[in-house]
């Protein structure tokens, strides 16, 4: 299961409904791949400094056109889930990297912290990908963890040169 399916299932069980595509939501996000997602502005406002400032503009809600969110629908949904889920399952380190870029762009600092904590749990299974991600993020602690995992894996694997 991907982050969308896992988290959506748990959120539906706890809230009785998905946290996006609510017909009563007051904001429509338009993904870069053309999908519309309805979400409550209070969720975006509570998690994002960028949206908080944007929604403070009294004229913002006069225009009912969708708000362009420069990401694919799967990443937007994952971000929205991460705003509400305190202990999410992350799909891949590649997706985590994209989500961290969006967190930085939209001022989603609490979500970024949740993702970084979960990335640390993924690194032992995929240390090379973790090291590459650590390099992109300039995260020395994560890079050291990835290198330790690589060393552990190389010590436990036997190589046959014949």
Domain boundaries, the chain: 3-92
Q: Report pTM.
A: 0.75
Taking only the tens place, the pLDDT of each residue in 3-31 is 545 544 444 444 334 566 788 888 999 99
Domain 3-92 fold is Potassium Channel Kv1.1; Chain A (3.30.710)
What is the DSSP-derived secondary structure letter of residue 89? Answer: P
pLDDT of 93 > 80? The answer is yes
Mean pLDDT over the full length of the chain: 81
pLDDT computed for residue 86 by the predictor: 62
Contact call for residues 66 and 60 (beta carbons, < 8 A): no
pLDDT of 121 > 70? The answer is yes
Report the candidate in 17, 104, 28 with the shortest Cα–Cα distance to residue 69: 28
Strands of 6-160 (E only): list them: 27-31, 36-39, 67-69
pLDDT of 80 > 70? The answer is yes
pLDDT computed for residue 152 by the predictor: 84
């Amino acid at each position: 299961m991907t982050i969308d399916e896992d988290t959506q299932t748990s959120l539906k069980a706890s809230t009785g409904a998905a946290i996006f595509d609510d017909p009563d939501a007051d904001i429509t996000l338009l993904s870069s791949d053309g999908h519309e997602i309805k979400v409550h502005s209070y969720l975006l406002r509570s998690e994002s400094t960028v949206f908080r400032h944007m929604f403070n503009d009294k004229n913002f809600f006069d225009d009912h056109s969708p708000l362009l969110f420069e990401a694919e629908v799967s990443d937007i949904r994952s971000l929205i889930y991460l705003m509400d889920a305190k202990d999410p399952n992350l799909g891949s380190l590649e997706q985590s990297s994209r989500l961290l870029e969006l967190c930085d762009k939209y001022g989603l600092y609490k979500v970024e912290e949740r993702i970084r904590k979960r990335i640390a749990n993924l690194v032992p299974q995929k240390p090379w990908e973790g090291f590459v991600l650590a390099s992109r993020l300039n995260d020395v602690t994560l890079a050291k963890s990835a290198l330790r995992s690589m060393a552990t894996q190389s010590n436990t694997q036997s190589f046959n040169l014949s």
